[in-house]
Every structure is written in C-alpha cells, then in structure tokens.
C-alpha cells in the first residue's frame, strides 16, 4: 500500500531555476537605448503591470507595449523581452532523472501567454508531465490558491509534492500549506535536498 506521505511529484519554477538570464544583457539594452538604470525591470514588474501580465489579463505583446510606453523606450522593451535567456543543462538532466524514477514532474511558472513557445524554443515542450502557467490559470505565486490548484490537478496531498523556486515568498507560501519546498540556489544543492 502506498504511504500517503510518499513523495509523488516534483514541481519546478521556470525562471531562476531552469532558465536563467544574463543580467548584463538588460543593462546593455538600457544603455544603448538611453533608458535609466533598471527602468525596464521596474516598469515590467511594478505592482500592477507585472501582475496583469502573469495572470493573463493582458498578453505578452500588450505587456511589452505598456512597458515601452512607461519608459518611453518601446524598442528597448521589445528587445529586452525578446531575449530568451538560457537553460541550465544540469536541471534538464535532473528533470529527466526524476521522471525516469517514476515521479511526476511539473512546471509552475508565473508566465505569460507565450510560455508554450518559450518552452519550445528551449526544447522543453515535452520535458514535463504537466505545465502550470499562471497566465492560463488566472492566479500567480505566491497566492496559496495556485498551489491548491496544482495539488488538485495532480490529485496530491501537500506532503506528496516537492516544490522549488528562487523566490523566498513563493517557497514560504508553499510551505505554509504543507508542501515540501526548497529555496533554489543551485542545482547541486537541490539534488542534495532531493536525495
């Protein structure tokens, strides 16, 4: 009989865990377009605009337009959000190892409507058993409701799920409802915790 506390699923955040961004790229774009330091990120992830983008209230294209309007630099906004970053190959191997071990592996991302094409761009379209995108769900981390949604779809008790994210508030929210969670710092540290 399967113990109700046995780990059955590992759920990964995308950006900052699997996909990473070279921060010098944004700085270079801002410099070349004459945008004040950190203006693009500040506009994109302000309390209203970022939340609307990742809960599906606006498309990524509209988000880019609004960032361009807020900063007076539409070309810079388009170039910055056109940069796809890079995927950590060790994390891709870990995902494959976990699936081969019989665990369900899922992605839970605060993303926009373009997550499917972004995953395809990095050859990750088939890497996960489930993809939970906040823009599709209409909820975003760290709202506890999004974790309950994942648990419901996967038919899991909180203790049967492990979640990793690079944002402390997202990890804290998962822990608060009983999910096993880890603040991501490196692939090596994550592997050690999963052991």
pLDDT at 42 over 60: yes
pLDDT tens-place string over residues 179-195: 999 999 999 999 999 98
What does each C-alpha distance from 89 to 18, 82, 159 come to in angstroms? 8, 21, 28
How far apart, in Å, do the first and last CA atoms of the chain sit? 22
Q: What would the pLDDT profile of 132-186 be if each residue is shown by its tens digit?
A: 999 999 999 999 999 999 999 999 999 999 999 999 999 999 999 999 999 999 9
The answer to whether the peptide bond before residue 69 is cis (omega within 30 degrees of 0) is no
3-state SS assignment for residue 127:
coil
Alpha-carbon distance of 126 to 16, in angstroms, equals: 20
Residue 47: CB partners within 8 Å, gap ≥ 6?
Answer: none
Outline where DSSP puts E strands in the chain.
Answer: 9-12, 19-20, 86-87, 104-109, 130-133, 161-165, 180-183
As a whole number, mean pLDDT of residues 27-56 equals 91
pLDDT band at 1 (very low <50, low <70, confident <90, very high): very low
Query: Per-residue pLDDT averaged across 115-123, rounded?
Result: 97
Q: Considering the chain, what percentage of its residues have pLDDT values greater than 70?
A: 98
User: Is the pLDDT reported for residue 2 higher than 80?
Assistant: no
pLDDT number for residue 170: 98
Q: At what angle do helices 23-33 and 74-82 cross, to 10 degrees?
A: 160
Strand-pair partners of 86: 20
pLDDT in tens, 61-116: 999 999 999 999 999 999 999 999 999 999 999 999 999 999 999 999 999 999 99
């Amino acid at each position: 009989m399967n113990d109700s506390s046995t780990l059955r699923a590992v759920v990964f955040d995308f950006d900052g865990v699997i996909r990473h961004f070279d921060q010098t790229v944004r700085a270079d774009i801002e410099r070349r377009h004459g945008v004040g330091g950190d203006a693009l990120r500040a506009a994109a992830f302000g309390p209203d605009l970022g939340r609307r983008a990742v809960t599906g209230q606006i498309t990524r294209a509209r988000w880019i337009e609004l960032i361009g309007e807020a900063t007076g630099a539409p070309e810079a906004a388009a170039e910055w959000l056109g940069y796809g970053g890079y995927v950590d190959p060790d994390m891709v191997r870990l995902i494959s190892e976990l699936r081969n071990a019989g665990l369900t592996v899922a992605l839970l991302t605060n993303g926009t409507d373009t997550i499917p094409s972004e995953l395809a761009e990095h050859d990750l379209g088939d890497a996960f058993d489930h993809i939970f995108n906040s823009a599709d769900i209409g909820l975003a981390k760290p709202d506890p409701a999004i974790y309950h949604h994942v648990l419901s779809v996967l038919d899991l008790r909180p203790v049967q799920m492990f979640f990793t994210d690079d944002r402390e508030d997202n990890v804290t929210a998962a822990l608060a409802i009983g999910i096993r969670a880890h603040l991501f710092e490196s692939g090596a540290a994550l592997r050690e915790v999963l052991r």
